[in-house]
Structure 1
Amino acid sequence: MALQGTGMLIVATDIPAVEEEEFNRWYDREHVGERVGIPGFLSARRYIAVEASPKYISFYETEDFAVLSSPAYKQMLANQTPWSKAVMANFKNVQRQVARTTAGMGAGLGGAAAVIRLRPGDADAGKAREALKAVLAELATRDGTLAAHIMESDPELSKPLAEHKDAPKDAPEAKDWIVLVDTTSAAVAAAAAKAVASAALPGLTLIATGTYTLMWMLAKTEM
């Protein structure tokens, strides 16, 4: 869908099977609403993997990037609920990105999505961004592709939380760019991921692709 803000928090994780029911209950009954309720947060959406790792990924849209270092958000992080602390301690393979949404095209929220992780080098970020935008513009003309967005992580802020016991403190993905492509089906999402993965993108290294289906979304206007 067309995003309304320019900040994005992205959290991907696996969870042990024995903890999965409680994990989803916590996400759906406490965590999503708690985060969207923070001033400056606009929406949250949850996905589950069709063919991807980690299994779960969530996107939290904010009015702007500054919201993700705001006093209100920092206060929430410093005062996690007991339920949050207990569930987050079981996260595995956590990838947490605090990002700027630097480009977007199209409209609509699809039932499936492609998520592509790219790692920038030392080349001109502007040239890399323009090359990627050209690939996404072509994708946007294909049947079943609704919208596409580029999110560029901030290395200083893209770090695991204290509650993420299993996460390394200096993760290389802290500077990754995340591409999110909204589509009408998992098959279209897989084709979109393949198209980006096979494109010539100077200055960007492909790290991973994945296809997911949307579990649900909550907007601030619904609260």
Structure 2
Amino acid sequence: MSVGPAAAFLALWNGVADAGAVPEYEVWHTFEHVPERVGSPGFVQGIRYRSVDGPVRYFTCYWLRSLDALTTPEYRALVDHPTPWSARMRSQLSGFLRLPCELGATIGVSSASRLATLHLEAHTSEAAARLRTLLQRQVDGANLVCAHWGLCRPSDDHPLANPPLGGASGAASLVVLLQHGDLSALRHGTEALLRSLGPDFRTLGGPAYFEQLTQVRQSALQAPLSSRQPARGDLFHAFNPGDKTP
């Protein structure tokens, strides 16, 4: 699947601590938070996913021109000075994992609505090349529609980034994104990939399976990109009518 000018992505998993807050989370994340992020310099698009297996969990993928998008003054201002709604919703996030990745490869020319995520530790310098070969085999055999993988370096220092999960060895980790239109076929292709990985890899997380919810491209935003995207105070007060925060 083509991701245009993107050469990196930010992979983000989270849950919602209070099930009663899920409807508010869905509106906030869809209409305020993700468009705000995508409006930052160096962002290309953001895609939201929701787990197909319980409990409810979300995955968001922000496609970036480079990882420099996460170090701009504009992006740091979003992180350090959240909107009133973002400040409220941060307390509802659970199981938060955020991994900035350099795009290693994209395999396949189509995209699909079902997604599997994997987080792997690479044990050898040849592991990335082997992973690409295995993914190409899965796509060529129609077991997957497309696949992306990215390299997450332990030394990367970006706002809100999680500590490296690759263990004391300091090995780089890999985030793998697999797509298929059919969930059962996606599970089959993912499990086949895992069986073929061998000793070059250790699984740190996943597989986790998701369905696509929404997508926003920077090119579709109507507010000027020279300024922060507008907060949705109208929607915030619809959910929190007694809150006097401006």
TM-score normalised by structure 2 residue count: 0.79
Q: 1:144-193 deviations in whole A, cap 9, x for unaligned? A: 6321111111334477839xxxxxx6462695311111211211221122
Taking a change above 3 Å as real, the CA distance of residues 67 and 160 of structure 1, as seen in their structure-2 partners, is closer
Partner residue, 1:165:
none
Match of 1:140, SS? helix
1:59 and 1:83, CA in 2 relative to 1: closer, same or farther beyond 3 A? same
Name the aligned partner's letter for residue 8 of structure 2.
G
Counterparts in 2 of 1:204-223, with a 5 A limit?
204-207=201-204, 208-223=206-221
Q: Deviation per CA, 1:83-126: give whole Å up to 9, x if none.
A: 111111111111111111111111222111121111234x32xx
Alignment of 1:92-103 (within 5 A): 92-103=94-105
Closer/same/farther in 2, CA of residues 8 and 54 from structure 1, 3 Å limit:
farther
Q: Give the letter aligned to residue 209 of structure 2.
A: T
Q: CA deviation at 1:53?
A: 7.3
Q: Which residue of 2 aligns with 1:104?
A: 106
Give the Cα separation in 1 of the matches to 2:166 and 2:82.
Answer: 24
Counterparts of residues 109-124 of structure 1 (less than 5 Å): 109-121=111-123, 123-124=124-125
CA distance in 2: counterparts of 1:60 and 1:191, whole angstroms: 26
Stretches of structure 2 that go unaligned for 5 or more consecutive residues are 222-246
Q: How far apart, in 1, do the equivalents of 2:174 and 2:54 lie?
A: 17
Letter in 2 for 1:2: S
Q: Which has the larger radius of gyration?
A: 2
Does structure 2 conserve the Cα–Cα contact (< 8 Å) formed by 1:144 and 1:184? no
Describe the shift of the 1:77–1:216 C-alpha distance in structure 2 as closer, same or farther (beyond 3 A): same
| Residues 1:214 and 1:158: Cα distance change in structure 2 (over 3 Å) | farther
The answer on whether the counterparts of 1:114 and 1:192 sit within 8 Å (CA) in structure 2 is no
Q: Name the aligned partner's letter for residue 99 of structure 1.
A: C
Which residue number corresponds to residue 194 of structure 1? 191
Alignment partners' CA distance in 2, 1:119 and 1:52: 25
Call closer, same or farther: CA 1:144–1:201 in 2, change over 3 Å. Answer: closer
What is the aligned-residue RMSD (CA, Å)?
Answer: 2.3
Query: How high is the TM-score relative to the length of structure 1?
Result: 0.87
Amino acid at match of 1:68: L
Residues 79, 159 of structure 2: 8 Å contact kept: no
- 1-side partners of 2:109 and 2:81: how far apart? 36
User: What percentage of residue pairs aligned between the two structures are identical?
Assistant: 21
Name the CA distance, whole Å, in 2 between partners of 1:173 and 1:31: 29
Confirm or deny that 1:56 pairs with 2:58: yes
**Kindly tell me: are residues 159 and 95 of structure 1, through their superposed partners in 2, closer, same or farther at Cα, counting changes over 3 Å?**
farther
